[in-house]
């Protein structure tokens, strides 16, 4: 499974980062940084009854597709992409920072946060404490915890560390068993993600969100991830009670990002929640 490969590689990568000097450097950067933006609060404020809040993803490549646009081989402009997202109604951005499988970087996260100003999710495979300090030091307002890649104790400890660093947590689930783990072990987490992508085949099915959303308590914010390509998809998510949606590939690969966002969000694309 691709996730297993990524996690093993990530653990090896982290072993080279675990030094007291590096951690001290990150802590200094965090002390000098300003407060985080409220990721969950902003999503809640920007959603409407007929439109989930949009988390738009800055993504250069994927393990299954490679570069998402041919021109990214010579030129990839994460800030320009994120600015287009902001201008056309995104409530927040997600930035891929994994280098070896997604061709991302922490510098992309820093640049986007410094220049765009939207709340930012560090889209990374979190397996060690040091990554949370990296995320905070590079401007993240939220981090991702993937239930499929973590043990229960890690989920609890990582969630506590994120809170200590003023980072919101988006906990990602893929099926009922993972959702039950989150609801039992992380009762205080507000953002629950439902990934519609099968981690074995990499195919997507919005039915995963439609099925799991029914089991999530009303005090949570439901985030649907992957496989959202057209307005009809968004309409199905609205009917399922989804509050936010994380979209990457369909935006990145569109000829015009603004046109694609307007298509997905409909006529109310720039109207904020009253």
**208-211 contacts: CB < 8 A, separation 24 or more?**
208/174, 208/175, 209/237, 209/240, 209/242, 210/236, 210/240, 211/176
- pLDDT (tens, 9 = 90+) of the chain, 274 residues, equals 788 999 999 999 998 887 789 999 999 999 999 999 999 999 999 999 999 999 999 999 999 899 999 999 999 999 999 999 999 999 999 999 999 999 999 999 999 999 999 999 999 999 999 999 999 999 999 999 999 999 999 999 999 999 999 999 999 999 999 999 999 999 999 999 999 998 777 789 999 999 999 999 999 999 999 999 999 999 999 999 999 999 999 999 999 999 999 999 985 434 444 3
Q: What is the 3-state secondary structure (H, E, C) of 202-213?
A: CCECCHHHHHHH
Does 273 reside within a domain?
no
DSSP assignment of 16-64 equals TT--HHHHHHHHHHHHHS-PPP-HHHHHHHH-BTTBPEEEEEE--EETT
Does 271 reside within a domain?
no
Does 100 reside within a domain?
yes
Structural domain total, the chain = 1
Domain that holds residue 206: 2-265
Does 272 reside within a domain?
no
Task: For residue 187, count CB atoms less than 10 angstroms from its CB and return exposed for 0-12, middle for 13-18, buried for 19 or more.
Answer: exposed
Does 216 reside within a domain?
yes
Nearest Cα to Cα of residue 44 among 165, 170, 220: 220
Nearest Cα to Cα of residue 191 among 53, 48, 57, 10: 53
Does 230 reside within a domain?
yes
CATH code at position 143: 3.20.20.70
Q: Report the pLDDT value the prediction gives residue 270, as an integer from 0 to 100.
A: 45
Does 270 reside within a domain?
no
Does 274 reside within a domain?
no
Quote the tokens at residue 86: 């902001």
CB contact at 8 A, 135 and 122: yes
H or E element that contains 123 = strand 120-123
């Amino acid at each position: 499974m691709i996730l297993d490969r990524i996690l093993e590689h990530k653990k090896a990568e982290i072993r080279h980062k675990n030094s007291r000097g590096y951690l001290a450097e990150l802590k200094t950067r965090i002390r000098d940084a300003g407060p985080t933006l409220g990721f969950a609060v902003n999503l809640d404020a920007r959603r409407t009854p007929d439109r989930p809040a949009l988390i738009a993803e800055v993504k250069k490549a994927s393990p299954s597709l490679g570069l998402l646009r041919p021109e990214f081989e010579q030129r990839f402009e994460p800030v320009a992409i994120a600015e287009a997202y902001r201008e056309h109604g995104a409530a927040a951005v997600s930035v891929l920072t994994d280098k070896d499988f997604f061709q991302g970087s922490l510098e992309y996260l820093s640049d986007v946060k410094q220049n765009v100003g939207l709340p930012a999710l560090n889209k990374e495979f979190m397996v060690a404490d040091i990554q949370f300090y990296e995320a905070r030091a590079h401007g993240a307002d939220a981090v991702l915890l993937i239930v499929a890649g973590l043990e229960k104790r890690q989920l609890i400890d990582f969630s506590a560390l994120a809170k200590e660093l003023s980072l919101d947590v988006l906990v990602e689930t893929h099926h009922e068993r993972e959702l039950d783990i989150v609801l039992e072990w992380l009762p205080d987490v507000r953002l629950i993600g439902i990934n519609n992508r099968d981690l074995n085949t990499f195919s997507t099915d919005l039915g995963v969100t439609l099925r799991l959303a029914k089991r999530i308590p009303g005090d949570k914010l439901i985030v649907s991830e992957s496989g959202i390509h057209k307005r009809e998809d968004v309409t199905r998510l609205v009917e399922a009670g989804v509050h936010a949606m994380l979209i990457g590939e369909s935006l990145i690969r569109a000829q015009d990002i603004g046109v694609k966002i307007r298509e997905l969000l409909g006529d109310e694309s720039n109207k904020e929640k009253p």
